[in-house]
Structure 1
C-alpha cells in the first residue's frame, strides 16, 4: 500500500476518533440548559453532574483534533494550506468557540457567583453548538468540492459554503452529536439527569434519524461509491440499533450504536472523497488529490515509524483514563455526600465546583 494511502487512512481514523469522542462532549454542552433548567431547584447541581461526566476527558478528546491537524500539515501540506486559507472563517469560528468553551469549563467554579456560572454555561452551550454544526458544514463542503483555481486557491466565500447540502450536513452532525451526548449522559450519570436524558432520547430520536439518514442518502446519491453505500447502510443501522437499545434502557449498547454510526459516517465521507482530498468544482484538473498534495516519500516514511511507536501509547493512556473515571455520577457525588466522592471531585479540573 502506498504511504499516501496509509496517511489518508490514518487521518480519516483520527477524525473518526475526534468525532466519536468529542461528539458526546458537544452533545452534553448542547443539552446543558435543556436537562438542567435554571427554574429547577436542583438545576445547579444537575449542571455540575453533567459537566463532571466529561470533566476528566473533554480536553483529552480534543487532542484527536490537534493530531489530525498536525498529521494533515505534515503528510499533505498542500491540502492543509488550502483548507486553512479557503475555510479560514468557519475554522476560526470553530477555534474561538472551542477556546471559549475550554475557558468556561476550567473557570466555571472559580467564582461563587450565579451570574458568572450562568455566563460560563452559555459559553459551554454555544462553544459546543457552533462546532457541532460547523464541522458538518465544513466536511460536507470538502466532500462536495469548492471553487478552486489552478494555484489551489479557494475562490469562493462563506456564503457559497452555506449551500443546501452543507447546511444539511451541519444539521446532521448537530443532531447526531446531541443524541450521542444524551446517550452518554444516560450511561454516565444516574438519578434525574439520567432519566431526563432517556426521556429526551425517546422524544428526539425520530427527527435525528431522519436528518442523519437524509444526509447519508444525499451524500451517496451525489458522491457515493458501491462500498461506501454499504458503509452508509451500516451507519444507519447502527444509529437505529443504538436508539432501540437506549429506549430499552441498555445504555452501554446504545452508546456503542451511536459511536459506530458516527464512525461509519466519517468512513463513508472519506471514502466518497478518495482519491481526492479537496475536489475543485471549477475544474477537476485543479483538484487536490492524495498524490499532488502529499509530502515526500521520505517524510511520510519517518512519520509512519513515529506513528507506529507512539500511537499505541496514546491510545492506552486514553483508554486507561476512561476506565478510571467509569463510575456513574449523581447529585450526591458532586455534592460530596456519596461514598468515594472525594476521588471524583479531585478530577473535576475545577470545572464544576
Structure 2
C-alpha cells in the first residue's frame, strides 16, 4: 500500500476511534438533560465518563494533527471552509471541559446547575455539528479552482447535511444510553435501557435514509457493505439491549458507529474533499498528500506512539470498569443563605 493511501486509512481509523469513544461521551452529556430525573442522577451519569472524557478527546487531536501533517491541502481547505462550525465545536469542547472540572468547585446549587446545563448543550452541539461537517464532506462542497470553498456558510446547511447532523446526534445519544445502562445500577440503569430502545429505532431509521442517500450519490460496493453492517449492528444492539445484555449491546453499537465511519470514508475515497463545482477541482488522496519523506517519518512515529496510547487508555477503562448508582453519590451540601 502506498503511503498516501496508508495515511488515509490511518486518519479514517483515528476518526472512527474518536466517534466510538467521544460518541458515548457526548451521548452521556445529552442524557444528563433527558434521562436524569434529579441532580444525583445527573452526577451518576457524569461520573460514568469522569475518568475518561479527556482521554477520548486525544483521538480528535490525533486525527486533526495527522491530517495537518499527512494532507496539508486537505487540512487547509477543510478548516478554512468549515471555519464557523468547527469554531463552534471547539468552543463547545472548551466550555465542556471547564464544566466538568469546575462544576463541583463550589457548593452552591445554582453554580452547579449552570455547569450541568453547559454540559448538556456543549455535548449536543458537537454531536450534531460533526454529522453536518462529515455529511458535507462526503456530499461535496463548492471547491473552486483555487482550492478554496466558495459561497457562504448557509450553503453547508442543506437537507443532506442537516439529516447527517440529526443522525449523529441520535446515534451518539443511543450509544451513550447503552453505555449508561452498562455502567450504572438501579432504576437509572433500567431507564437507560428503555431510552436506548427508542433511540436505537430512531437511529436505525435515520441511518437507512441518510447513509442510503450517501450511497446513492457516491457509494461503491465496499461502502454498501459497510452501510449494511452499520444498520445490522444497530438492530443487533437493540436486540441485545432488549434482553438486558448491556455488554453485547454496547459492543454492537460500537460496531455500528465504526461501520458508519467506514462507510463515509469508503464513499469519500479516492477523494479527500470532492468538489460540487467540478470533479477536476476535487482534492484527491494523491494530490493532497505530503512528501514521501514526511509520510515515512510520520509512519515510524505512529508505529511507536500509537500502541502506547492505546494500552494506556485501555488500562484506564479497566481501572474504572465498575458500575455506579445513586447510592454511591453523597447528598449535596448547600451553604446557608441566611446569616445566623
Q: TM-score range by the shorter chain?
A: over 0.9
Structure 2: distance between partners of 1:274 and 1:208: 25
Give 1:19's aligned residue: 19
Shift in Å, 1:153? 0.8
Structure 1: distance between partners of 2:104 and 2:30: 19
Runs (4+) of structure 1 moved beyond 6 Å? none
Structure 1: distance between partners of 2:246 and 2:156: 37
Structure 1: distance between partners of 2:113 and 2:36: 12
**Unpaired runs of 5+ in structure 1?**
38-42, 337-353
Q: Are positions 1:290 and 2:300 aligned together?
A: no
Shift in Å, 1:156? 2.2
Question: Which residue of the other structure, out of 88, 111, 135, is the alignment partner of 1:116?
Answer: 111
Shift in Å, 1:242? 0.5
Structure 2: distance between partners of 1:283 and 1:201: 42
Question: Which residue of the other structure, out of 87, 92, 95, is the alignment partner of 2:90?
Answer: 95
How is 1:32-181 mapped onto 2 (pairs within 5 angstroms)? 32-37=32-37, 43-181=38-176
Shift in Å, 1:212? 1.7
> How many pairs were matched up?
331
Structure 1: distance between partners of 2:138 and 2:33: 33
Shift in Å, 1:77? 0.4
Shift in Å, 1:264? 0.3
Structure 2: distance between partners of 1:152 and 1:287: 8
User: SS in structure 2 opposite 1:83?
Assistant: helix
Alpha-carbon contact 2:11-2:67 (below 8 Å) kept: yes
Q: Are positions 1:239 and 2:234 aligned together?
A: yes
Alpha-carbon contact 2:171-2:199 (below 8 Å) kept: no
User: SS in structure 1 opposite 2:185?
Assistant: coil
**Unpaired runs of 5+ in structure 2?**
332-340
Shift in Å, 1:219? 1.2
Structure 2: distance between partners of 1:237 and 1:15: 21
Structure 1: distance between partners of 2:29 and 2:202: 20
Structure 2: distance between partners of 1:22 and 1:46: 21
Q: Are positions 1:326 and 2:330 aligned together?
A: no
Shift in Å, 1:191? 1.2
User: SS in structure 1 opposite 2:272?
Assistant: strand
User: SS in structure 2 opposite 1:269?
Assistant: helix
What TM-score does the superposition give when structure 2 sets the normalisation length? Answer: 0.96
Q: Which shifted more, 247-256 or 208-217?
A: 208-217
How is 1:224-303 mapped onto 2 (pairs within 5 angstroms)? 224-303=219-298
Structure 2: distance between partners of 1:66 and 1:199: 34
Alpha-carbon contact 2:142-2:276 (below 8 Å) kept: yes
Over the aligned positions, Cα root-mean-square deviation in angstroms equals 1.0
Alpha-carbon contact 1:146-1:156 (below 8 Å) kept: no
Give 2:10's aligned residue: 10
Shift in Å, 1:17? 0.1
Give 2:336's aligned residue: none
Structure 2: distance between partners of 1:158 and 1:16: 26
User: SS in structure 1 opposite 2:286?
Assistant: coil
